[in-house]
């Protein structure tokens, strides 16, 4: 799964960006060195899938921030991301419902934690503590994002169909 994610998110998307740039379109890569993230906010806000981030900021976060405040608006964006992932993970797999949404809610709570006064005092938004916290929150619940039902019913059949072993 890690190899597949890296191939899709870094390889293919980067190749598409290069192709568009060669054709004269200013298409910046959507993944901007996520492994260098020093915090969850840095990972989700500036480094991972910046195309989704820009859309979510423009059409969800900014309008909600005015009414509900930045923290609540950010949590709603993570919840929305979870629902979108339910549509592309749980629905095709016919199971694992709620797990992708739980993963993204955990991410939103992690960002809120590192931005809290306690999280800032502990250094969760930068340095080695920030990197460790980021890795733990991203990787710890990754099982929720790719539950076995999805791997067995979607990923393995797809790999078999393209001749991978």
Find the mean pLDDT for residues 112-120: 97
- The residue written with tokens 């797990």 in the block is 99
Q: Please give the model's pTM, rounded to 2 decimal places.
A: 0.89
What distance in Å separates the CA atoms of residue 80 and residue 82, rounded to the nearest whole number? 5
What distance in Å separates the CA atoms of residue 135 and residue 35, rounded to the nearest whole number? 9
The structural domains of the chain, with segments of one domain joined by +, span 1-31, 32-161
Find the mean pLDDT for residues 139-157: 94
Q: What is the pLDDT of residue 30?
A: 83
Find the mean pLDDT for residues 23-37: 87
At 10, the pLDDT band (50, 70, 90 cuts) reads low
Q: Does residue 92 surpass a pLDDT of 90?
A: yes
What distance in Å separates the CA atoms of residue 70 and residue 44, rounded to the nearest whole number? 15
Joined tokens for residue 130: 């920030």
CA distances from 45 to 14, 41, 57, 78, 156 (A): 18, 5, 9, 11, 31
pLDDT tens figures, 31-79: 888 889 999 999 999 999 998 999 999 999 999 999 999 999 999 999 9
What distance in Å separates the CA atoms of residue 7 and residue 140, rounded to the nearest whole number? 21
């Amino acid at each position: 799964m890690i190899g597949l994610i890296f191939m899709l998110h870094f390889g293919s998307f980067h190749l598409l960006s290069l192709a568009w740039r060669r054709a004269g379109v200013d298409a910046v890569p959507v993944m901007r060195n996520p492994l260098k993230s020093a915090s969850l906010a840095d990972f989700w806000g500036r480094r991972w899938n910046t195309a989704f981030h820009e859309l979510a900021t423009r059409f969800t976060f900014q309008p909600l921030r005015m009414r509900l405040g930045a923290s609540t608006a950010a949590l709603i964006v993570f919840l929305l991301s979870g629902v979108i992932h339910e549509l592309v993970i749980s629905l095709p797999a016919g199971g694992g419902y709620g797990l992708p949404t739980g993963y993204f809610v955990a991410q939103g709570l992690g960002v809120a934690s590192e931005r809290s006064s306690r999280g800032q005092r502990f250094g969760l938004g930068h340095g080695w503590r920030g990197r460790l916290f980021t890795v733990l929150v991203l990787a710890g619940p990754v099982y929720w994002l790719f539950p076995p039902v999805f791997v067995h019913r979607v990923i393995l059949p797809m790999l078999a169909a393209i001749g991978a072993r």
